[in-house]
């Protein structure tokens, strides 16, 4: 089975004028075969060699050409196109485009996108061998390399003009492989990862509820890290103020019962379950349909509570279960409580953090954790929740690989 090495990757393909432009159609397909979402920008000269309609049909998205196209500017615009992409790949890149790009020009849509880009840029040159060997072209290439633009090729061989030499567009398969190499290893490609995040709310009456201080930031950071690792990610989220994770599917829930039902609906084909949500342990036995009022006879109120379903323990108890990762938010005896929870709930990994430290954990962008598993543990220093998420994903992928041996 072919491994899709570009799953969740967004590639903006720039096509410039030259006979090799026809190969861009094949390149779109090959990139898509690897799981990439591809959108195409063409220069006016490129449209003389291959039609925008062809590229639109192959990519499944409108082909962008003009800098001042009203539809382009209203829907996405050159800045949005630059921000959308994980990689800008220009193939073929003509000598004229390379010169204008090197000179910092912004006189068409493609050069303007490159100027606005904050992501990786790669070019695959294609031109006559004399144009490639021209000292000015070589100076331009050297300058782009110093600017950390990745140069793919060119190849050597017979050219469309009948001459032989260096200047041919690199083979499409080679361009695809070099594109794959730009991105980090896809540690969770082909895996479905379900992540719970945020707090739950347990209603007392139509106005009041029981909840906690979870912001959802660590769960959402883990979802982003899993997406970057190539996974198909589902985020089952309690109420938060966070934007949905790009390229993940989000299911919004409120109560622990809601979250439990959503998890069980997604767990059958799940490979990794990460329970980050701070699920309320208890809920009111009765939820009043009307707002509870204070009385003159008493200054106290008693609310009877009942235990909520234990979501992660329920997942870990399934006969066909995913790799299960839990979180232990503790205020004392951190590692002792974490290891007890690991064993009691039959988890594969638990992430322990001390929520008594107000500078990290709940509502903070940073955290300090200890990874605990059956025969080991690893303490991580204070770092951003995004970096912690990457460390957790890396550890999970290693444990999954170890299970295959």
Q: 301 with 330: CB under 8 angstroms?
A: no
Helix H or strand E segment including 395:
helix 385-404
* ∠ Cα 150 111 92 (to 5°): 55
Q: Which helix (H) or strand (E) holds 53?
A: helix 52-59
Taking the CB of residue 286, how many other CB atoms lie within 10 A of it?
Answer: 11
What is the spatial distance between Cα 106 and Cα 327, in angstroms, rounded to a whole number?
A: 49
Of the residues 114, 161, 270, 324, only one is catalytic, namely 161
Cα(223)–Cα(276) distance, rounded to whole angstroms? 10
Q: What is the DSSP letter of 309?
A: P
CA 35 to centroid of chain Cα atoms: 13
- Residue whose C-alpha is closest to residue 37's, from 16, 19, 59: 59
**DSSP class per residue in 238-265:** -S-SPPPPTTSEEEE--SHHHHHHHHHH
* Rg (alpha carbons) of the chain, rounded to whole number: 27
Please list the alpha-helical segments (H only) found in 117-253: 129-133, 135-146, 172-182, 217-228
Residues forming beta bridges with residue 14, ordered by sequence position? 41, 90
Q: CA geometry: angle at 169 spanning 166 and 170, to 5°?
A: 95
Q: Which helix (H) or strand (E) holds 354?
A: strand 349-354
Q: How far apart, in whole angstroms, are the C-alpha atoms of residue 372 and residue 380? A: 11
Pairing of strands 305-307, 282-284: antiparallel
114 is catalytic: no
Which residues are marked as active site?
161
């Amino acid at each position: 089975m072919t491994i899709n090495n570009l799953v969740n990757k967004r590639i903006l393909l720039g096509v410039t004028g030259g006979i090799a432009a026809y190969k861009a159609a094949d390149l779109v397909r090959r990139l898509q075969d690897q799981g990439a979402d591809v959108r195409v920008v063409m220069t006016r000269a490129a449209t003389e060699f291959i039609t925008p309609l062809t590229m639109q049909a192959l990519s499944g998205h409108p082909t962008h050409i003009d800098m001042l196209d009203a539809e382009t500017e209203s829907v996405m615009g050159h800045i949005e196109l630059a921000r959308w992409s994980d990689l800008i790949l220009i193939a073929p890149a003509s000598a004229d485009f390379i010169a204008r790009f090197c000179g910092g020009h912004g006189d068409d849509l493609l050069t303007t996108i490159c100027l606005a880009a904050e992501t990786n840029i790669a070019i695959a040159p294609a031109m006559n061998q004399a144009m490639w060997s021209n000292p000015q072209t070589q100076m331009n290439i050297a300058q782009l390399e110093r600017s950390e633009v990745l140069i793919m090729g060119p190849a050597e061989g017979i050219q469309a003009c009948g001459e032989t030499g260096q200047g041919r567009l690199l083979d499409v398969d080679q361009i695809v492989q070099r594109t794959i190499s730009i991105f980090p290893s896809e540690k969770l490609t082909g895996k479905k990862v379900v992540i719970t995040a945020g707090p739950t709310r347990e209603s007392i009456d139509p106005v009041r509820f029981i909840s906690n201080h979870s912001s959802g930031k660590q769960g959402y950071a883990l979802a982003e890290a899993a997406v970057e690792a190539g996974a198909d990610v589902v985020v089952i989220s309690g109420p938060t103020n966070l934007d949905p994770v790009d390229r993940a599917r989000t299911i919004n829930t409120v109560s622990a019962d809601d979250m439990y039902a959503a998890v069980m609906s997604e767990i059958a084909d799940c490979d990794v379950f990460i329970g980050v949500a701070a699920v309320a342990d208890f809920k009111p036995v009765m939820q009043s349909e009307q707002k509870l009022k204070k009385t003159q006879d008493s200054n106290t109120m008693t609310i009877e509570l009942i235990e909520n379903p234990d979501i992660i323990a329920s997942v870990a108890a399934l006969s066909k279960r995913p790799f299960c990762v839990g979180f232990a938010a503790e205020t004392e005896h951190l590692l002792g409580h974490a290891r007890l929870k690991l064993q009691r709930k039959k988890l594969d990994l638990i992430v322990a953090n001390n929520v008594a430290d107000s500078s990290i954990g709940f509502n903070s962008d940073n955290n300090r954790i200890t990874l605990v598993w059956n025969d080991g543990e690893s303490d991580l220093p204070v770092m951003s929740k995004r970096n912690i998420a990457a460390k957790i994903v890396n550890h999970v992928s290693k444990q999954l690989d170890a299970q295959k041996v």
